[in-house]
Amino acid sequence: MFKGSYVALVTPMLENGEVDYPALQKLVDFHVEQGTHGIVSVGTTGESATLSFTQHIDVIKATVKAIAGRIKCIAGSGANSTEEAIFLQEQMADLGVDGYLSVVPYYNKPQQKGILAHYLALADKATLPIILYNVPGRTVADMQSDIVAELAKHPMIVGLKDATGDLSRLTELQSLVSEDFLILSGDDATGCEFMCNGGHGVISVTANIVPKQMKLMCEEALSGNIEKAKSIDASIEKLHTDLFIESNPVIPKWALYKMGLINSPAIRLPLVLPELSSQKQIEATIKEYQL
């Protein structure tokens, strides 16, 4: 259903903080041309935390329109309030998205039973498939594998984006869920190894910059061509590091701006533009990659 290379797409903005919709269309066309298998719209990288509900929904609506059925679109629908997450799902149910990506509630620090209850409440109300999203580096709460396994029994919960970077989680999960439950990597540095050990795909920040390479790496890994996949990954390894020298999506936006794919590196507070040293570092990297 959602296998391969999915890009955690940035939300391009103007200097005044408004969404740059022409630039969004340009980014979507770029990913279609480069072979990206699908787009995740308004996830963490899309600055979901600082978009209003109206803007959140409008960006997803615009992304679906720009895609025009050419590739899949997963909508970021998570919130730290269960009621708000259900509201977002309901608002996006008829926009044409293919599914939802729903993050573990952040800041609240829910117990494991709370995480279970949260997702079951979402799934019971959902009309589209849900991918769970575990990123304890941002949410603090860490959804354990036994909870994922319990949630995987619900027909509307079809997969997990694991951004822990802990490859032992993959092995653990594989022993607990059925083969058709999707396990996707949300950590670019370990994404290739994740897939080579049986993961089904990536939801990638690096794919914003080198979508073709990420797509090829995923296809080789899914085909069992492990050495070829690792070779492609090694060729973009520096990007996996340099894109995260400041909080995501600060550096990806700067890189896309310097590549001429967005009109401005503007980002919403409390994030700000990268330090001069960081700008120079990522500019040197994209120059090295001839981007």
Q: Are 24 and 62 in contact (CB under 8 A)?
A: yes
Q: Is 203 annotated as a binding residue?
A: yes
User: Mind telling me the catalytic residues?
Assistant: 133, 161
- CA nearest to 116, candidates 77, 79, 83, 143: 143
Q: Is 139 annotated as a binding residue?
A: no
Annotated binding-site residue numbers: 45, 203
Annotated binding-site residue numbers for pyruvate: 45, 203
